[in-house]
Amino acid sequence: MNPELEALLKAWDAFTESPEGAEGMRLRELYDARLAETAARLEASGETIHRIVLRIYPRWVRANLPPGFPKKLGLE
């Protein structure tokens, strides 16, 4: 997997798994900053890259489930 995409997925995962409040806002700001850097480097829209992250995220989570974890219980 592209390391830049994986870094975005990990940042998004940290945000979605964080509790609401200051920590969640901080993690969202980190994700947004990484997203802006990636968009600028690729000369692409941040919105488009964010949609790519949202589309790939459920499959990435399923692929990273611990061995033996029922795949049917993963995100659909």
Q: What is the mean pLDDT of residues 68-74?
A: 60
The reported pLDDT for the residue numbered 72 is 61
The reported pLDDT for the residue numbered 71 is 61
Range of the domain at 27: 3-73
pLDDT digits (tens, 9 = 90+) for 26-61: 999 999 999 999 999 999 999 999 999 999 999 999
Regarding pTM above 0.85, the answer is no
- Contact criterion met (CB below 8 Å) for 51 and 35: no
CA 16/CA 58 separation, integer angstroms: 12
Q: How far is CA 10 from the centre of its chain?
A: 5
Strands (DSSP E) found in the chain: none
The reported pLDDT for the residue numbered 54 is 97
How many structural domains is the chain composed of?
Answer: 1
